[in-house]
């Protein structure tokens, strides 16, 4: 797209982008996207939508008919958005969750930028994109998107651990059909299971709601080997308590803010055709996050 080409479906009024979830007040996405939009001088506006349960279908009907380019989807609507979309990317088909929707001629196309955004963040940290043995804590939409991207990047073994073991095993079966060369397995989150699976892990990724609330009793910190890399997709100023404790032990860690920024950059490119470096989104996110604690 030519940098001077107007962005939007209606040249007479700003087009809209959104992030929809419940709750949504904690989201840094409006600060990031509106900051980039302002710097580029685009006729766009990014709005947060805190949507009560059972209203997503009606909201997406408005999106199809309105002056929207698309938007982001977060907890708890990633799976439902994937189901309600008119078309889906390969990543969405594989993991059953969408974090991005793009409006195309009145229809919704579902994408998942979580996985590739996560790998972009690890690459920016100097970790690369390929990890032979991975342990994923959680089996929700973000975890599935990350697992899909890691499988595509060349992982040999991916273990998904979840409070509901059957869900982890079901996700492992679905993904194994996409990547026959990758060994997928599922398990629970009991401390003994964590201790066993942490052995020999090149990368451990925390994707659970336990991490979101900052509550994880009996987490076996001492069993995370110093040779492992640990990423937490939850973003907090200074990192989560779990990350701080691991760093104190000498474990290399990455928090959730870089992933948030790099997946945002990929979503923005899908909506507008403009490729903005993930670091630009990250700087805006850091600024907004700091303002919460002043």
> In the predicted model, is pLDDT for residue 2 greater than 50?
no
Name residue 205's beta-bridge partners: 136, 231
- Give the Å distances, CA to CA, from 49 to 23, 52, 63, 265: 9, 10, 12, 20
Taking only the tens place, the pLDDT of each residue in 122-165 is 999 999 999 999 999 999 888 999 999 999 999 999 999 999 99
Q: How far apart are CA 101 and CA 111, in angstroms?
A: 6
Active site residue 252: no
- pTM as predicted: 0.91
Same domain, 48 and 78: yes
Residue 183 included in any domain = yes
Q: Which domain holds residue 265?
A: 15-112+259-292
44-50 and 15-21 beta bridge pairing? parallel
Q: What does pLDDT average to over the chain?
A: 91
Residue 219 included in any domain = yes
Same domain, 82 and 158: no
- How many other CB atoms are there within 10 angstroms of residue 86's CB atom? 15
Same domain, 90 and 151: no
Cα-Cα-Cα-Cα dihedral sign, residues 200, 206, 210, 214: positive
Q: φ and ψ at 219, to 5 degrees? A: -70, 125
Same domain, 121 and 219: yes
Which pLDDT does position 5 carry in this prediction?
41
Q: φ and ψ at 57, to 5 degrees? A: -60, -45
Same domain, 174 and 226: yes
Residue 229 included in any domain = yes
Taking only the tens place, the pLDDT of each residue in 74-92 is 989 999 999 999 999 999 9
Locus of tokens 């993904």: 175
Same domain, 169 and 80: no
Q: φ and ψ at 191, to 5 degrees? A: -50, -40
Q: What is the DSSP string of the chain?
A: --TTS--SS-TTS-EEEEEEESS-TT--HHHHHHHHHHHHT-SEEEEEEE--TT-HHHHHHHHHHTTEEEEEE-TT-HHHHHHH-SEE-HHHHHHS--SEEEEETTEEEEE--HHHHHHHHHHHTT--S--SEEEEE--SHHHHHHHHHHHHHT-SEEEEE-SSHHHHHHHHHHHHHH-TTSEEEEE---HHHHHHHHTT-SEEEE-SHHHHHT--TT--GGGS-TTSEEEE----TT--HHHHHHHHTT-EEE-HHHHHHHHHHHHHHHHHS----HHHHHHHHHHHHHHHT-
Same domain, 86 and 178: no
Domain count, the chain: 2
Taking only the tens place, the pLDDT of each residue in 227-274 is 999 999 988 877 888 999 999 999 999 999 999 999 999 999 999 999
Which pLDDT does position 40 carry in this prediction?
97
Residue 141 sits in a domain whose CATH number is: 3.40.50.720
Taking only the tens place, the pLDDT of each residue in 186-222 is 999 999 999 999 999 999 999 987 765 656 778 999 9
Residue 199 included in any domain = yes
Same domain, 74 and 35: yes
Band the pLDDT of 10: cuts 50, 70, 90: low
Residue 83 sits in a domain whose CATH number is: 3.40.50.10860
Cβ burial of 42 (10 Å; 0-12, 13-18, 19+) is: middle
Cβ burial of 225 (10 Å; 0-12, 13-18, 19+) is: middle
Same domain, 243 and 129: yes
> In the predicted model, is pLDDT for residue 12 greater than 60?
no
Catalytic residue among 78, 93, 226, 287: 78
Which pLDDT does position 1 carry in this prediction?
36
């Amino acid at each position: 797209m030519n940098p001077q080409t107007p962005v939007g479906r209606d040249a007479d009024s700003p087009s809209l982008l959104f992030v929809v979830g419940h709750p949504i007040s904690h989201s840094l996405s409006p600060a990031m996207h509106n900051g980039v939009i302002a710097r580029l001088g685009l006729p766009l506006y990014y709005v947060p939508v805190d949507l009560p349960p059972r209203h997503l279908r009606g909201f997406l009907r408005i999106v199809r008919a309105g002056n929207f380019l698309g938007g982001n989807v977060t907890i708890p609507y990633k799976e439902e958005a994937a189901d309600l979309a008119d078309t889906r990317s390969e990543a969405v088909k594989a993991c059953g969750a969408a974090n991005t929707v793009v409006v195309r001629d009145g229809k919704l196309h579902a994408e998942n930028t979580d996985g590739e955004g996560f790998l972009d963040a690890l690459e920016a940290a100097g970790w690369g994109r390929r990890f032979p043995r991975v342990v994923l804590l959680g089996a929700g939409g973000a975890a599935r998107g990350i697992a899909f991207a890691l499988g595509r990047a060349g992982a040999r073994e991916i273990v998904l651990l979840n409070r509901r073991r059957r869900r982890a095993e079901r996700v492992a079966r679905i993904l194994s059909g996409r990547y026959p060369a990758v060994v997928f397995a599922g398990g629970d989150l009991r401390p003994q299971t964590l201790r066993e699976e942490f052995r020999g892990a090149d990368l451990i990724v925390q994707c659970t709601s336990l991490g979101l609330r900052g509550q994880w009793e009996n987490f076996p910190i001492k069993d995370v080997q110093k040779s492992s890399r640990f990423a937490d997709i939850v973003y907090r100023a200074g990192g989560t308590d779990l990350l701080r404790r691991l760093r104190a032990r000498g474990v290399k860690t990455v928090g959730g803010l870089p992933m948030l920024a790099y997946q945002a950059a990929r979503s923005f490119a899908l909506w507008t055709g403009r490729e903005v470096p993930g670091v630009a989104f990250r700087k805006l996110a850091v600024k907004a996050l700091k303002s919460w604690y002043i």
